Structure 1
Amino acid sequence: MIKPHRFSIGPADAEIAMLQWGESGKPPALLVHGTGFVADVWDEVARDLASTYTVYALDRRGHGASHKPGAYHFLDYAEDVCRVIDTLELRDVYGIGHSAGATDLLLAAQLLPGRFTRLFVMEPTVMDPRAARSGALNDESLARVEGTLRRRAEFDNADAVFARYRTAPAFADWTETSLRAYVRHGFVPLDNGRVRLCCTPEIEAAILRPIYEAMEQVYAGDARGNPFGGLAGIDCPVRVTTAAKSGPIYQEMARRAVSLIPYVSTMVFEGAGHCVAQEVPARVVEAVREFAK
């Protein structure tokens, strides 16, 4: 079994935790997880791809062992991806991302033209700036963001986390390998022997607010503005995928992405839900390889 090499880039106050599967010298593939997770949830996909690629994955800011600065706009994440690519001097990158992590790659591709060879993005979070609305989050979305603050953050031990999550609907279809990777690396041990989420409820709520704003077409960005218009400038082939068992909003955001990106194609993972890489990793690898042909 290929075990990933762990390292980090950047200074202590802006550190990005990284994993690498396989030897250097092969074409690079960069994997970016979705909200709440960690680089390790890619393990089954990454181990398979490592026969062909030098596979990298990162803990997104606010997650895992990476920095938690309090700034969680879409461009913050995209700039982190650019920093990884520049620091590691990666060229001809195959970007593979899920949900908000897929968005990171789409936005990074417009910031670093010519650096990606292709992008495989699974249900990215995308708004259409041509249909932007004024106003703020509706009450339902605001309640969902605030409800995150009530999420349980501490458990007696990792086994207790696994037992709890194994029966949770959100994780019901995950492979055991993927779920154990998340439990092991998505929690930090405390001095009293208990474990706590790395992406705390407070951090996750801060991350989710701009995501829900994008869903509702009210995302304005920060002082840098709304970055989604730049998707029209992506200069490499992009495959946007959806999952048949996923929610309607993911289908809608995929349609928005397809309408904005110039060199785009689509596919559907039948019989799978939103976290497709953790549910059917072999099918994801097959699709990733097929798109590379």
Structure 2
Amino acid sequence: MDTARRVFSGARTGQTIVANVYRPHVRPHADGARRVTLLLTHANGFHKELWEPTLQRLFAHRSGRWTIEEAIALDGYNHGDSAVANRASIAGETYTPWFLAARDILAVLSQLGGGRGKRAVVGIGHSWGASSLLLAELLSPLSFAGIIATDPVLHTKPTGHAEVAAITLKRRTEWASESAAREYFAGHPFFGAWDPRIRDLYVAHGLEASGPGAATRILKCRPENEAAVYRGALYASPFAANNLWRIQCPTAFLTGETSHLAPPQHIADIIGDITDCTHMPEAEFYSVS
């Protein structure tokens, strides 16, 4: 697939959202197929390039019902390349209301010329990114032609993830070289269990040089920014969870069997009032994929 960089204006003056635009090498011709754009959002602490293995599979898929024109993966304003661009404004950040991410998504949609019956955009999000897509749709109904929410964080009561935020602030942030970082993450109890393709992408695009020409690598998303996002779930996550019935676009929920943040039964319990909704736990998903 072909990849290009694009920079969007964020919802707040002076902030930018850095994105990768992916297009298939060969666009299959399908008479009558609906042409769609994918908009992808990542989990807290992750970045846009982690979607690339998924996009390769999607671009290889052939359907007579729809054709993917392009896929646009965003870095949240304090993650990945967006964090690098916005470093001055996010330094010292302690609290990130998730509504900010939702507003940035709507700002990007506006610049794409999408939403409300214009360009057909399907949102695909993971964890915090999935919750942000749902919030964006609640703030501006029918902005999306559809949403696929993977393990969305949807608490029905306020929570600030204080324990997770405290652990995050203790994360290691710096390595002597990229190879040293790769070795560290390969042996880590959490990252070591990842698909090697995802782990390699995490290191290749989630770290930056600590200074001009320096070999030392440091996380683009600093622990304080990641912790700020965890704290930002406080009111935004319950707002999304308790207003899902307002969502008007077709919505699909994918949940991991052992997910702590999005247990399948919890998701099943809160999505029943969405007009056009499907729910597929991980076991079912892999049985048909």
TM surpasses 0.5: yes
2:248 touches 2:274 (CA, 8 Å); kept in 1? no
1:99 touches 1:125 (CA, 8 Å); kept in 2? yes
What's the offset of the Cα at 1:249?
Answer: 5.2
What is the distance in 2 between the residues matched to 1:253 and 1:36? 24
- Unpaired segments of 5 or more residues in structure 1? 212-218, 273-282, 288-293
- Offset from partner CA, 1:103-139 (integer Å, 9 cap, x none): 01111112232231211111101122xxx36xx75xx
- The match for 1:171 among 191, 204, 207 is 191
Could you tell me which residue of structure 2 aligns to residue 266 of structure 1?
A: 279
How has the CA–CA distance of structure 1 residues 252 and 75 changed in structure 2, closer, same or farther, with 3 Å as cutoff?
farther
Equivalenced residue count is 258
1:127 touches 1:253 (CA, 8 Å); kept in 2? no
Q: Secondary structure at 2:72's aligned position in 1?
A: strand
List structure 1 runs of 4+ shifted beyond 6 angstroms: none
What's the offset of the Cα at 1:247?
Answer: 2.8
Instruction: Report the residue type matching 2:204 in the other structure.
Output: R
Does residue 33 (structure 1) correspond to residue 54 (structure 2)? The answer is no
Could you tell me which residue of structure 2 aligns to residue 84 of structure 1?
A: 108
What is the distance in 1 between the residues matched to 2:144 and 2:236? 24
Does residue 246 (structure 1) correspond to residue 259 (structure 2)? The answer is yes
What is the distance in 1 between the residues matched to 2:284 and 2:245? 31
Does residue 159 (structure 1) correspond to residue 174 (structure 2)? The answer is no
Q: Secondary structure at 1:207's aligned position in 2?
A: helix
Instruction: Report the residue type matching 2:254 in the other structure.
Output: T
Task: Give the alignment's TM-score, normalised by structure 2.
Answer: 0.79
1:29 touches 1:95 (CA, 8 Å); kept in 2? yes
Q: Secondary structure at 1:199's aligned position in 2?
A: coil
What is the distance in 1 between the residues matched to 2:154 and 2:269? 7
What is the distance in 1 between the residues matched to 2:236 and 2:249? 25
Segment drifting more, 155-164 vs 253-262? 253-262
What is the distance in 1 between the residues matched to 2:221 and 2:54? 23
Matches within 5 A, 1:163-202: 163-191=183-211, 192-202=214-224
- Provide the aligned C-alpha RMSD in A: 2.9
Q: Secondary structure at 1:121's aligned position in 2?
A: strand
What's the offset of the Cα at 1:246?
Answer: 2.6
What's the offset of the Cα at 1:143?
Answer: 3.2
What's the offset of the Cα at 1:172?
Answer: 3.1
1:243 touches 1:271 (CA, 8 Å); kept in 2? no
What's the offset of the Cα at 1:237?
Answer: 1.3
How has the CA–CA distance of structure 1 residues 120 and 150 changed in structure 2, closer, same or farther, with 3 Å as cutoff?
same
What is the distance in 2 between the residues matched to 1:77 and 1:8? 16
What's the offset of the Cα at 1:162?
Answer: 1.4
- The match for 2:79 among 60, 63, 81 is 63
What is the distance in 2 between the residues matched to 1:158 and 1:271? 38
What is the distance in 2 between the residues matched to 1:59 and 1:202? 17
2:39 touches 2:122 (CA, 8 Å); kept in 1? yes
Does residue 124 (structure 1) correspond to residue 123 (structure 2)? The answer is no
Identical columns (%): 26
- Offset from partner CA, 1:235-258 (integer Å, 9 cap, x none): 111111111233375336524541
What's the offset of the Cα at 1:145?
Answer: 1.4
Q: Secondary structure at 1:108's aligned position in 2?
A: helix
What is the distance in 2 between the residues matched to 1:56 and 1:103? 18
Could you tell me which residue of structure 2 aligns to residue 209 of structure 1?
A: 231
What's the offset of the Cα at 1:175?
Answer: 2.2
What is the distance in 1 between the residues matched to 2:16 and 2:269? 32
Q: Secondary structure at 1:27's aligned position in 2?
A: strand
- The match for 2:133 among 105, 111, 128 is 105
Could you tell me which residue of structure 1 aligns to residue 53 of structure 2?
A: 44
1:18 touches 1:56 (CA, 8 Å); kept in 2? yes
Could you tell me which residue of structure 2 aligns to residue 6 of structure 1?
A: 5
Q: Secondary structure at 1:47's aligned position in 2?
A: helix
Could you tell me which residue of structure 2 aligns to residue 93 of structure 1?
A: 121
- Offset from partner CA, 1:203-245 (integer Å, 9 cap, x none): 111111133xxxxxxx3359xx945544221111111111123
